[in-house]
Amino acid sequence: MGLFRSEELLGIAAETLDFILSASEQTHPNEYMGFLRAESASKLGLDRDGRVITDILVIPGTESGPTSASVKEMMRPNDINSVGSVHSHPNGVLRPSDADLKTFTSGTVHIIVGAPYGRTDWQAFDNQGEPTDLEVIDVALPDDDFFELTQEGLEDEHLEQPREQSEDTEKKGGLFSWFR
């Protein structure tokens, strides 16, 4: 595989769809919005070529109300794993508005979920706003411990790194001084 990913999008992980539906329900009556990320099917233990939607990236500063959700364009990720977007329609309408179509320019799939946010209350669309099928795949998602900080982990990391600072540097602090 080269720098640009052109693998077929196989579907969405069942657990990821459940997260989307739950987040949309919790955000109701306001719209929910996020960006879709996919992983290689082989990394998920599937014996198929392609990618599966596994993650939702919610951008800080996303503004949402009962009829729209928006993100500042400069905050949109430039992510090689990004495959599209997801947002909810609290009114339950499962088709894109004209405003939605204007945001369907990045990625290859865009999901709209609607109230009451059950397993059948969603639809995937292509960049033109045409409905597209997206298989729900029951696959175990990899554990991502990137943000899992524990006191034990911090202590282990501290013990592994030799401390080579002068007293002057230690007294002045610095960016990471609060870890000491």
Give the catalytic positions in this structure: 31
DSSP β-bridge partners for residue 145 = none
The Cα 130–Cα 124 span in angstroms is 8
Beta strands 135-137 and 51-57, pairing class? unpaired
Task: Give the separation between CA 31 and CA 88, rounded to whole angstroms.
Answer: 5
Token reading at 166? 């002068």
Inter-CA distances, 171 with 73, 157, 177, Å: 41, 22, 9
CA separation for the pair 169, 159 (Å, rounded): 19
**Is the CB of residue 109 less than 8 Å from the CB of residue 125?**
yes
Q: What is the dihedral of CA 148, 150, 156, 160, to 10 degrees?
A: 50
Q: How far apart are CA 100 and CA 97, in angstroms?
A: 5
